[in-house]
């Protein structure tokens, strides 16, 4: 089976994009893993599937698979690549499109300067809906937010729990480059308080309109950028009265701009979306070691 693919990235968060608007595409978890493998396949943080919408109020449907083969709810950087892909492929002539994702609809707008703005919807702050089950975890109030203490390697890490359609645990650190993100990230991801696992965000406050951010993504590891993670971090920072909208977010892959007003407002993310190359791959030849 041969697949035509497009390789894209949003601030260094890289994707394989597949067009399934003409015919459904269903692969096994092992096949998604093989495609995303950086040594034996194409290589990517996530795989994005463009499909026909299943509802009349959306232009397309959008599915995301992590490089571990698991399907996830949302990906902000991928959403920006999505709108550039359907525009460049001639699948739509609209500058603004409505896209069906797992938990609703998002609106994507292609800007004249080539960047893309995504209406990410309102953040989900109710722990049960994140989903987050704090149980007897210690808590402390900080402005409008409630922080929860996770025991990570014998130390208490205070996190904000936010969902942007996918779960995030955001903590503030003094020096994000020196912090052991890759060591502690997996422990936060698999903490039992998060029944569907969680993306672990590490935010350094530079000033009230600027942060530096690293994210250890659920099922993908640390990525160069995480769009939903940037949104969740800014929401947490504003609720803690540490930030003012809009906020510039520096990631290892580049800059994102996040704007948010109040709990009932949508979060708006603006950033780059770049096509890297296209090609065709024979799935039958993918044979990574067991």
Active-site amino acid positions: 75, 226
Query: Is the bond leading into 83 cis (omega within 30 degrees of zero)?
Result: no
Of 285, 286, 269, 290, the C-alpha closest to 78 is: 269
DSSP 123-188: PB--GGGTT---TT--EEEETTEEEEEEEETTEEEEEEEEESSSEEEEEE-S-TTTS-HHHHHHHH
Contact 216, 203 (CB under 8 A): no
| 244 SS3 class | coil
Burial of 155 (0-12, 13-18, 19+ CB in 10 A): exposed
Integer Cα distance of 202 and 174 in angstroms: 10
Integer Cα distance of 193 and 255 in angstroms: 31
Q: How many residues can be counted in the chain?
A: 290
């Amino acid at each position: 089976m041969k697949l035509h693919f497009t390789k894209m990235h949003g601030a260094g968060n890289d994707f394989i994009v597949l067009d399934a608007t003409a015919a459904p595409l269903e692969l096994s978890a092992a096949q998604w893993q093989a495609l995303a493998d950086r040594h034996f396949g194409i290589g990517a943080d996530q795989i994005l599937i463009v499909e026909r919408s299943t509802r009349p109020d959306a232009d397309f449907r959008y599915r995301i698979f992590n490089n571990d083969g698991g399907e996830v709810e949302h990906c902000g950087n991928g959403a920006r690549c999505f709108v550039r892909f359907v525009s460049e492929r001639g699948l739509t002539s609209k500058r603004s499109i409505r896209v069906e994702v797992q938990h609703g609809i998002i609106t994507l707008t292609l800007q004249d300067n080539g960047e893309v703005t995504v209406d990410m919807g309102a953040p989900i702050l109710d722990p049960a809906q994140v989903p987050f089950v704090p149980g007897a975890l210690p808590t402390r109030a900080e402005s409008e937010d409630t922080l929860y203490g996770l025991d990570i390697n014998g130390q208490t890490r205070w996190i904000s729990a936010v969902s942007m359609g996918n779960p995030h645990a955001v903590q503030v650190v003094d020096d994000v480059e020196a912090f052991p993100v890759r060591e502690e990230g997996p422990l936060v991801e698999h903490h039992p308080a998060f029944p569907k696992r969680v993306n672990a965000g590490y935010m350094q406050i530079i000033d009230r309109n600027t942060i530096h951010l690293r994210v250890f993504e659920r099922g993908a590891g640390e990525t160069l950028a995480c769009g939903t993670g940037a949104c969740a971090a800014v929401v947490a920072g504003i609720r803690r009265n540490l930030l003012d909208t809009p906020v510039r977010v520096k990631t290892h892959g580049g800059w994102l701009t996040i704007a948010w007003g109040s709990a009932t407002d949508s979060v708006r993310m603006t950033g780059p979306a770049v096509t890297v190359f296209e090609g065709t791959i024979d799935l039958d030849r993918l044979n990574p070691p067991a």
